A and B are shown apart, each in its own frame.
Chain A
């Protein structure tokens, strides 16, 4: 914490003890402002934020931006880019650009909802486990160990083939295997924060446990959680793409960057029809990089040691 900013200094010796020590008049910088100022120092992070914002906008406005219907089949299969189909058509004859735009919805939906799901659960588990301590904490930590020891990809393949592939299955499965890391992260922050005097003060003041957990501990543990969530979005998008590429994720005809890349499994496509995979691959790359840059920027901006 930066003690020297704000209304320090003026305290020194005053004639009478109970005269108030006036805080200085200049408006202090709020917490959010400081974080933004630090974040803005990172060029890449700001660029990442802009790109991410554009992507979110694209995903929201997707139905209005697509030049063709992403599902409409035309007579030209795997056609090279032209004036009508800027990025060509796929082997079924659908417009690649339209599918690319529609797929941004799927990717971001998977990214954000997976993260929202497992962050909420993981944070809750970590808070309770870390604060309660004792046998409950040990039990919860052994459960997270078990989850983390599972060969993640294999279990996903099994679950997907058992339950059937689909968007919601994908989200739930990814969330199922991601919460333990968050629970551990949150728990470790809680363990250090709960020893601090302001938490003991909360106990001494007789505040209820939910008030202490959500009003005093969680806000002070939020930094690492936010950073982790940002990276989590990028990694969920990559996982979705990977599973869709293997045919275990989003099923055609729904477009996803991952299943658009499936076409690149053929050598002819890879060498002679780059419009079938370069756009989807690039979007994936740009999205993940942009979100990771935002995460890097946030991590530095939220680091109290800076």
Chain B
């Protein structure tokens, strides 16, 4: 990543970022044969750098398979990184062992995508919410009860929910439980991994509103991962667009939406469904198509096979992410 960006960012926002990711790479080996030699790698995250400042929400958008969820999980050290550094409040954690990570876990939490898979079906809501503080010695069995009650209040669940099991709740309610669990350790950073995409549309708005209220009340710092623009633009102050494991454009939300510089960003915005047919006039110059495999990314600019403006330079030379607050990785940015 271009060091200038960090420099500019730092001069404009004087404090140090809560989360800094430098050149992070997460590869999955493709194993073949009996002895499982790595025959190649899926480059899920391939050199991502970004800063997230206290109190802000950074949105990450991109198609399925672009590595955005893997990025979130790698930052939380749930996936092993291959290269790169992760700083949480200045402390480099990518090299830490899982044991060494444990005392840091309360500082960063995750809200999972699928509320049906992320809650242990054999535990009551009370146990789900009380276990983390007890395990970290933040509360004992008695004092944790008031904490659990407060969490339920925050996420808008009734006290009667406490002694029920996850399967007795609807998707939206379960996601509230998941949010309460993430808040149970009073984290500084929350990674929201597509927290509403598994929910009914009518419930999505409720959960987004809940997240927004919590964000304001608790001054949370979030990394908000989504594949669509809607949720991200509602909650984020800055947005990063990912394509095949890389950030192709990053900047303040208004700039990215109002004046996208990368052809892929524009494609992504244009593919957002519009309910009113009269508003459907739009730029159709960009082909939809599917992204290439992250196991074998194209040379040069990774977007060139789908890009209508691709030139020879795009096919041969990979563009660096460059620019100030609004940075783009494109040889011929739109404008």
Contacts and interface: CB of A to CB of B under 8 A. Distances in A.
Contacts, number: 131
Contacts of B158: 20, 22-23
Contact of A206 (B120, B135, B156): B135
A206 B76 CA distance: 11
Interface string B161-182: 1001101111111001010010
A32 to B, nearest CB: 11
A201 B112 contact: yes
A18 interface: yes
Contact size class for A?
Answer: 35 or more
B157 A206 contact: no
Nearest to A11: B170
Interface string B100-127: 0111111001101110111111110000
Nearest to B207: A17
Contacts of A207: 131-132, 135
Contacts of A216: 120, 123
A1 B167 contact: yes
Contacts of A92: none
B74 to A, nearest CB: 12
Interface stretch (A192-200, A228-236, A265-273): A192-200
A200 B241 CA distance: 26
Interface in A182-206: 196-198, 200-206
Contact of B116 (A3, A22, A204): A3
Interface residues on B, range: 35 or more
Contacts of A204: 76, 78, 105, 109-110
Given A17-B156, A211-B135, A6 B169 contact: yes
The 6 closest A-B CB pairs, nearest first, are A206-B105, A17-B209, A6-B168, A197-B118, A11-B170, A197-B117
Interface of B: 73, 76, 78, 98, 101-106, 109-110, 112-114, 116-123, 131-132, 135-136, 155-158, 160-161, 164-165, 167-173, 176, 178, 181, 184-185, 200, 202-203, 205-210, 213
Interface of A: 1-3, 5-14, 17-23, 28, 31, 196-198, 200-208, 211, 215-216, 219-220
Given A204-B105, A205-B184, 14 more contacts: A3-B167, A7-B168, A7-B173, A18-B210, A19-B156, A21-B157, A203-B78, A205-B181, A207-B135, A208-B102, A215-B123, A215-B131, A216-B123, A219-B120
